[in-house]
Amino acid sequence: MSVKMIRKIIFIFVISLFFQTNNVVADTSGNEELNVSQESDTAQECFEGVSRAMFKFNHALDGAVFEPVAKGYRSLPAGLRKGTGNAVNNLRSLLTLTNNVLQGDFHKAADTAGRFLVNTTVGILGIWDPATALGLEDHGKEDFGQTMGVWGTSSGCYFVLPILGPTTARDAVGLVGNMFLDPVYQVTHNSGMADRSFSEHNYWYYRGTGSVDFRAKNIESFDSVEENSIDLYASLKSLYLQNRNKKILNSKSITETQNDNDWEEIDTN
């Protein structure tokens, strides 16, 4: 057996291990039931010890770099921050558009495309958001991890990546997929494209700005979670998985995204 073949077998084994279906949920009565839609209950740890160590590293890095940068960003004039956030979101909508199409959601794809066209032109490179005023609804961001979830891929196990933070096996593959599907990445990285006025750095500036904008909008939320957690790692894991589950179901109704069964048996009056 060649080395190449052995590598291939190991690769397939690791991938199948990551994507093992973990749909068995132990509810509060101790029974086990199959449930597809409550993924926040189901993702097992890939390697918890390593993930917790990685989480500590990320947390320290956030305190030393990301949070101070986010606080500095927040001291900028509101109009400047709003315009920056809008422009980044406008560029990000191209990845959403690709995923809308891959999910077969053509209605949302039409809205996303319309928003991009209006905001890039009338809204001057997305700095303003006239599309909303024109009734073109923002349906939220989509990525390839979500698309794979919509296609029926289970989340696989949960782990923490350095710098990038919480993820699952499916979402980690989605991160790689996002690069190939994101037109902004292609324009800035693909040397075959005619227009080379954008360098690879531009892509990372755009991604970095988006992250800082997000962090700045959530300073108090992060602080509150941090202050009120008895196990911050577990809190953030729960929040991450609930959020991904909600996004994949594309639902705003908590009755679809939350398992009500475990409330049902608790009677206190």
Nearest to 120 by CA among 130, 111, 110: 130
Q: Distance between CA atoms of 159 and 263, rounded to whole angstroms?
A: 28
- What DSSP designation does 43 have? P
Q: How many CA atoms lie within 13 A of 178 on its CB side?
A: 19
Residue 237 binds another protein (CB under 8 A): yes
**Residue 184 burial (10 A CB sphere; 0-12, 13-18, 19+):** middle
263 binds another protein (CB under 8 A): yes
Instruction: Determine the size of the site formed for another protein (CB under 8 A).
Output: 40
* Residue 74 interacting with another protein (CB under 8 A): yes
- Kindly report the number of other CB atoms within 10 A of residue 254's CB atom: 10
CA–CA distance from 19 to each of 14, 37, 57, 94, 257 (Å)?
9, 16, 26, 28, 21
> Does 50 interact with another protein (rule: CB under 8 A)?
no
Name the residue nearer to another protein (CB basis): 115 or 237: 237
User: Of how many residues is the chain composed?
Assistant: 269
Bridge partner list, 24: 34
Instruction: Build a one-symbol-per-residue string for 81-110: x at contacts with another protein by CB under 8 A, - elsewhere.
Output: -x----------------------------
Please report how close the Cβ of residue 138 comes to another protein at its closest, in angstroms. 13
- Using CB under 8 A as the binding rule, whether residue 49 contacts another protein is answered as no
189 versus 226: smaller Cβ distance to another protein: 226
Distances (CA, A) of 10 to 5, 7, 13, 161: 9, 5, 5, 21
Of 27-35, 114-122, 127-135, 194-202, the segment contacting another protein by CB under 8 A is: 27-35
Segment near another protein (CB under 8 A); pick from 62-70, 101-109, 117-125, 255-263: 255-263
Piece of 26-34, 152-160, 171-179, 192-200 that binds another protein (CB under 8 A) = 26-34
Which residues neighbour 4 within 8 Å (Cβ) at sequence distance 6 or greater? none
Identity at 132, one-letter amino acid code: T
Task: Fill in the DSSP letter of residue 64.
Answer: I
Residue placing its CB nearer to another protein in the complex, 211 or 238:
238
Residue of the chain from 5, 30, 34, 194 that contacts another protein (CB under 8 A): 30
- 189 lies in the binding site for another protein (CB under 8 A): no
Judged by CB under 8 A, does residue 141 bind another protein?
no
User: With binding defined as CB under 8 A, does residue 261 bind another protein?
Assistant: no
Q: Does 234 bind another protein (CB under 8 A)?
A: yes
Tell me the Ramachandran region of residue 193: left when phi exceeds 0, alpha when psi lies from -120 to 50, beta otherwise.
Answer: beta
Closest to another protein by CB, 1 vs 230, is 230
* Binding-site ranges for another protein (CB under 8 A): 26-30, 40, 74, 78, 82, 217, 220, 224, 227-231, 233-235, 237-239, 242-243, 246, 252-255, 257-258, 260, 262-264, 266-269
